[in-house]
Amino acid sequence: MIKHLRSAADLDAPTATLILDTAAEMAALAGREVKKLPTLRGRTVVNLFYEDSTRTRISFEAAAKRLSADVINFSAKGSSVSKGESLKDTALTLQAMGADAVVIRHPASGAPHRLAAWVDGSVVNAGDGTHEHPTQALLDAYTMRSRLGRLDGLRVAIVGDVLHSRVARSNVLLLTTLGAQVTLVGPPTLIPLDVSAALSPSTKVSYDLDSVLPDMDVVMMLRVQTERMQDSYFPSAREYSRRYGLDLARMRKLPEHAIVMHPGPMNRGMEITPEVADSSRSTIVEQVANGVSARMAVLYLLLGGKA
Amino acid sequence: MASPRADAPSKIILSESDLHRVVDRIAHQILEKTSGATGTVLLGIPTRGVPLAQRLAARIHAFEGIDVPVGSLDITLYRDDLRLHATRALGKTELPGDGIDGRRVVLVDDVLFSGRTVRAALDALKDEGRPSSVQLAVLVDRGHRELPIRADYVGKNIPTSLDESVRVSLTEIDGLDEVKLTGGDK
């Protein structure tokens, strides 16, 4: 097993499959009366969050607690970071406290890679800048596999702001490793220029959502990062929504079995309409539940064995 | 425990027909000791305990026409030696539909050795529910207990030394039925 999970590219197909299989067992245990497992007793997991997050932080916290690890939550607000402490000094502090794993979310791409050089424990990337979010990709792959039964040969469209999306990048890497065929869809301003060189040679690109929908098994809608709206990547929210938003009419173009995913938080009415988000094809709530199982699997596989 | 070399001497302890007779006997003993297997659930411990539990259920059905619920209980997450080895892949836990609350649970495993697997299984069981009682059935008891644990049903007692290893093969997993003892200085 690998020591850190910094990028979805750290995972080869057998390792990724092992994580998904382990997540399936963890999910089965979530239905029991006693959800807690003694597996990581005595281990310490630090959640080091330099960026706001609801679901990812809570999900990691729930995952670590269900495995009986001690959890220390650290958010940059209200810590010495606001007094100017560097990431390295914070890392050394955590090191001195004996953290067995550090789960880090950071606005700077590559922060988890730096951190891994400074601490002895495992580092798990919970989202770094516009770079990667590997556990999101794992829970997405898990959701696809449990809904559709397989990943190999699955056709997946990732729609929206691919350029700034760490979710998209990790998904492309992981899904490609596991044999799925990814198509990136969005306005040309929000799709990287040379996707095949930057990510994987088999990845396709389309600027026309309507034309790709009939061939897809999965449509993953990305959040429009409203904080980037004024950067004029697209003319107006209404135009974006009309061309790349998923509404009922577009959803009907999908094959009967296809599912609709969204990593959250959603802008209802922008990239996805409420009717679609709440439809039976949407896996959005399922994704949150699966997130805990996927993160339990990652923590178990990183921390469960011989250090 | 070091695994014996490939060329180490090995001896067949139970042949295919011996193994079938032993499973039949345990099935009869379970019926006898549980007054007809009422309220009884068989839980196999992965990997080889699971097909053994299924065989016991099939034999009980053949003898008395009773359907005993069968399931599997993975104990990996409850092991006390996780930190001594590389991370282990998990096995399947599948409890019968009606659960184990108030039932007599018979844990089924292939080899009883240190007793640590059984301890882990008891811990796992307590998080799954509250059985009225728990019993243990093993195909082979090789001794060397490290915990105060004993089996209720034993297929065969095999005195072993610590440098020997007991290898149970079952058709469902290994393609043949056999129990072998390998290693040692004999």
Domain ranges of chain A: 8-129+288-303, 134-283
Per-residue model confidence as pLDDT tens digits over A173-213: 999 999 999 999 999 999 988 776 667 788 999 999 999 99
Is the bond leading into B47 cis (omega within 30 degrees of zero)? Answer: yes
| pTM recorded for the entire structure | 0.92
pLDDT for residue B7 = 63
Which of B73, B87, B94 would you mutate first to test chain A, the one with the most A CBs within 10 A?
Answer: B87
From the options 3.40.50.10490, 3.30.70.260, 3.40.640.10, 3.40.50.1370, give the CATH code of A134-283.
Answer: 3.40.50.1370
Chain A stretch 275-304, residues whose beta carbon is closer than 8 A to a beta carbon of chain B? 300-302, 304
Partners of residue B85 in chain A, C-beta under 8 Å: 305-306
Partners of residue B90 in chain A, C-beta under 8 Å: 21-22, 25
- Phi, psi (degrees; rounded to nearest 5) at A67: -95, 10
Per-residue pLDDT of chain B (186 residues; tens, 9 = 90+): 445 555 678 899 999 999 999 999 999 999 999 999 999 999 999 999 999 999 999 999 999 999 999 999 999 999 999 989 988 899 999 999 999 999 999 999 999 999 999 999 999 999 999 999 999 999 999 999 999 999 999 999 999 999 999 999 999 999 999 999 998 764
Token pair of B6 as six digits: 């490939």
Minimum CA–CA partner of A300 in chain B: B87
Q: Judge whether residue A74 has pLDDT over 90.
A: no
Q: Judge whether residue A245 has pLDDT over 90.
A: yes
Q: What angle do CA A148, A274, A31 make, to 5 degrees?
A: 45
Contact present, B151 and B138 (Cβ < 8 Å)? yes
Is the bond leading into B51 cis (omega within 30 degrees of zero)? Answer: no
Partners of residue A34 in chain B, C-beta under 8 Å: 126-128
pLDDT for residue B3 = 52
Q: Judge whether residue A1 has pLDDT over 80.
A: no
DSSP helix/strand/coil, B43: strand
8 Å CB contact of B86 and A38: no
- Phi, psi (degrees; rounded to nearest 5) at B72: -130, 150
Contact present, A34 and B100 (Cβ < 8 Å)? no
* β-bridge partners, A19: none
Q: How far is A140 from A233, CA to CA, in rounded Å?
A: 27
Q: What is the pLDDT of chain A when averaged over all its residues?
A: 92
Tally C-beta pairs within 8 A across A and B: 56
Token pair of A238 as six digits: 């209404």
Which of A15, A19, A25 would you mutate first to test chain B, the one with the most B CBs within 10 A?
Answer: A25
Per-residue model confidence as pLDDT tens digits over A209-233: 999 999 999 999 999 887 766 677 8
Residue with tokens 């969204």: A262
CA distance B20 to chain A (A): 32
Partners of residue A307 in chain B, C-beta under 8 Å: 83
Minimum CA–CA partner of A14 in chain B: B89
Per-residue model confidence as pLDDT tens digits over B31-56: 999 999 999 999 999 999 999 999 99
The DSSP secondary-structure symbol of A81 reads: G
Complex ipTM more than 0.90, yes or no: no
8 Å CB contact of B93 and A25: yes
Q: Judge whether residue A239 has pLDDT over 50.
A: yes
Residue with tokens 């064995």: A305
- Phi, psi (degrees; rounded to nearest 5) at A36: -80, 140
Q: Which domains does chain B have, with CATH numbers?
A: 16-162 (3.40.50.2020)
The total number of residues shown for chain B amounts to: 186
The two domains A8-129+288-303 and A134-283 share their CATH topology (first three levels equal): yes
Partners of residue B128 in chain A, C-beta under 8 Å: 32-34
- Between A289 and A306, the more confident residue is A289
Minimum CA–CA partner of B129 in chain A: A33
Minimum CA–CA partner of B86 in chain A: A305
8 Å CB contact of B74 and A25: yes
Residue with tokens 């990812």: A56
**Active-site annotation of A, residues:** 55-56, 83, 105, 133
Class of domain A8-129+288-303: alpha beta
Q: What is the mean pLDDT of residues A102-121?
A: 95
DSSP helix/strand/coil, A241: helix
From the list B166, B169, B152, B142, the residue with the least C-alpha distance to B52 is B169
Could you give the percent of chain A with pLDDT greater than 70? 97
CA distance A33 to chain B (A): 7
